[in-house]
Amino acid sequence: MSVDTFVQLVREYVTTIDRASQSQPHELLSSCARLLSRIYSAGLDLPDVQPTDDDVDAEVASPMAKLTSLFGRYDNYFEVFDPFVDEKPVVGSLADDLADIYLDLARPLAAFDAGRTSDALWTWKFNLQGHCGDHLVDALRAIHRLVHDHMPPEYRAEEKGSNPLSDIQEITPQMKRAFDEAMLNIYKRAKAEAGYNATRFLSMVTERGGLDTARYLLHAATVSDGYIALWERNRLDLTVEATILDFQWQALFTEEERRIAIRRLREYGYKGKLPTLDGT
């Protein structure tokens, strides 16, 4: 496919999400399934170009809140980050997926429309090989199951119903940004206060975002090298496990994820105060 075709598909996706509140959930997800599969395919054929030194981080509003409201009880689903790694499923969010895809496509589109073609093409390709691509392929599988098996075509978000992930509250873009900052802050504090430069952790937060990084580490089979490094320095208070137990982040994690954090901290002799949950 040509660059023009890819750009047209991006425009169609951005318009589809912009008008999401005018669509019914089943209709919107069906449209996204058609568009996202074509965007992924066309993105693989984008040319290799060299960007300038300028980024393409244009100011674009996230559509996550309206998507969360639209999908209602069908927003959350189970997933694994890497099918070649033995780890437990974590909770994904279709609203989060589609909103992040939107931002990763719309920001370079603004650069493209401003005449910065090479910057836009490089960023689109980079995003699709990483953060945007992860959300895209995760979303497609969830959408496939919903539109063909679980979500009735007539579903409206105001309808009530059970959700096995109901202990996850609505996650707003503001909450995600605040948690991103909290994760970056523990990186900075570990470097300044404990002499530990967690470069891999920083890369994960930058590429995946704070919430995805935390869930990935929590569901890993063993604690991370960074966790061990902080334990050796007697600074378990700077671990992801300790951070997510702060009351302000309670809405972002399931009780099982908090139990994992509590068990790990107790196992390594954490001296700080821990919440009490059943099963810990």
Rounded Cα gap, residues 28 and 26, in angstroms: 5
159 Ramachandran zone, left/alpha/beta (phi>0; psi -120 to 50) = beta
Rounded Cα gap, residues 280 and 275, in angstroms: 9
- Residue 164 within any structural domain of the chain: no
Do 128 and 189 lie in one domain? The reply is: no
Do 113 and 183 lie in one domain? The reply is: no
Do 26 and 74 lie in one domain? The reply is: yes
Do 84 and 219 lie in one domain? The reply is: no
Total tally of structural domains belonging to the chain? 2
Do 130 and 186 lie in one domain? The reply is: no
173-193 vs 199-208: helix crossing angle, rounded to 10: 170
* Final residue before a domain boundary, out of 150, 182, 198: 150
> Residue 176 is encoded by which pair of tokens?
């995600």
User: What DSSP designation does 78 have?
Assistant: E
Do 262 and 140 lie in one domain? The reply is: no
Contact indicator for 1, 45 with CB cutoff of 8 Å = yes
The low-confidence residues of the chain, meaning pLDDT below 50, are 159-168
- Residue 139 within any structural domain of the chain: yes
CATH number for 55: 1.20.120.1550
- Residue 40 within any structural domain of the chain: yes
- Residue 273 within any structural domain of the chain: no
The residue to which tokens 């945007």 are assigned: 132
Do 58 and 114 lie in one domain? The reply is: yes
- Residue 274 within any structural domain of the chain: no
Cβ neighbours for 30, distance < 8 A, ≥ 6 positions apart:
147
Do 9 and 142 lie in one domain? The reply is: yes
Q: Write down the pLDDT at residue 166.
A: 44
Express each pLDDT in 150-174 by its tens digit. Answer: 899 888 876 444 444 444 455 677 7
- Residue 234 within any structural domain of the chain: yes
- Residue 24 within any structural domain of the chain: yes
Do 23 and 146 lie in one domain? The reply is: yes
Express each pLDDT in 239-271 by its tens digit. Answer: 999 999 988 888 888 888 889 999 999 999 998
Residue type, 225: D
Rounded Cα gap, residues 231 and 6, in angstroms: 48
Q: Write down the pLDDT at residue 1.
A: 64
Q: Burial, 15: exposed, middle or buried (Cβ in 10 Å; 0-12, 13-18, 19+)?
A: exposed
Do 142 and 185 lie in one domain? The reply is: no
DSSP labels, 202-218: HHHHHHH-HHHHHHHHH
Contact indicator for 60, 103 with CB cutoff of 8 Å = yes
Do 94 and 190 lie in one domain? The reply is: no
Do 114 and 177 lie in one domain? The reply is: no
- Please measure the distance between the N-terminal and C-terminal CA atoms of the chain and give it in whole angstroms: 54
Output phi, psi for 93, to 5 deg.
-135, 125
Contact indicator for 143, 155 with CB cutoff of 8 Å = no
Domain interval for residue 89 = 3-150
- Residue 163 within any structural domain of the chain: no
Q: For residue 102, how far is the Cα from the chain centroid?
A: 12
What count of residues does the chain have?
Answer: 280
